[in-house]
Structure 1
Amino acid sequence: MELVLSAAIGVLSGSGIWLILRPRTFQVITGLCLLSYAVNIFIFAMGRLTVGKPPIMPKGGFVNTANYADPLPQALVLTAIVISFATTALFLVVMIASKGLTGTDHVDGSEPTK
């Protein structure tokens, strides 16, 4: 499971960086989304991969933490998903406005000449 998760994080990170280096704004926005997904999966994986275990420990004396999932990475990823959705929406609005004003969707604002 860890190998699959590591490969997924690597593929998302590599694809995101490759798309960020592209000249079109939509590709840059898609690359930022892929990078945010990679970071979210990485943060989620730092809380241990546990299946079928509750994230909250009961009150009382000593509890074995191996029987419970860590709720902090889950909360951080949930917050990051909401923030990345809002910033992606903002980037798309700015991209549409920029294309309307300049007539091109290149990052530097001009079409390359060959």
Structure 2
Amino acid sequence: MEPLLSILIGILVAASVYLMLARNLMRFLFGLILLSNAANLAIFVSGRMTAGAPPLVPDGMDVPPEVVANALPQALVLTAIVIGFGLFAFALILAVRAYRSLGTLNTDEMRVAEPKEQG
């Protein structure tokens, strides 16, 4: 299962880089979300895909009696999902505000702070 998910992660990263290289700000945001999902999937896969019981240790024992699931990658992915959603919401509002101010989402035309070209 891990090799298949590794291929999927590679496809997601390639698609996100393709989208992030576009000159449209909305395509960049969609690429950012794809990259975030690929990173979350990579963290999840790095924790090994094993079926196991919850990592609980019964009273009187030092270790769990059976194979347990690794809770750390799950916690990291859950935190990354929340942070990624917050970042996306902020970037989306920023893009809407930029569109209302500048009238475009093309990054080549968003040169308000740069000096005018002389020619």
Same fold per superposition (TM over 0.5): yes
- One-letter amino acid matched to 1:61: D
| Number of the residue aligned with 1:107 | 107
| Number of the residue aligned with 1:61 | 62
CA separation in 1, counterparts of 2:5 and 2:104? 38
| Number of the residue aligned with 1:86 | 86
Percent identity, please: 38
Question: 1:6-43: CA deviations, max 9, x gaps?
Answer: 11100100001111100000000000100010100000
Partners of 2:55 and 2:64 within 8 A in 1: no
CA separation in 2, counterparts of 1:38 and 1:85? 14
CA separation in 1, counterparts of 2:22 and 2:55? 43
Q: How many residues align?
A: 108
Greater than 2 Å deviation, 4+ residue runs: 61-64
TM-score, normalised on structure 1? 0.87
| Number of the residue aligned with 2:7 | 7
Cα RMSD (Å) of the superposition? 1.5
* Matches for 1:26-45 after TM superposition, within 5 Å: 26-45=26-45
CA separation in 2, counterparts of 1:19 and 1:30? 7
Q: Structure 1 residue 106: deviation in Å?
A: 1.2
TM-score, normalised on structure 2? 0.84
Structure 2 unaligned regions, length at least 5: 112-119
| Number of the residue aligned with 2:116 | none
Structure 1 unaligned regions, length at least 5: none
Q: Structure 1 residue 78: deviation in Å?
A: 0.0
Partners of 2:16 and 2:31 within 8 A in 1: yes
Give the number of the structure whose alpha-carbon radius of gyration is greater: 2
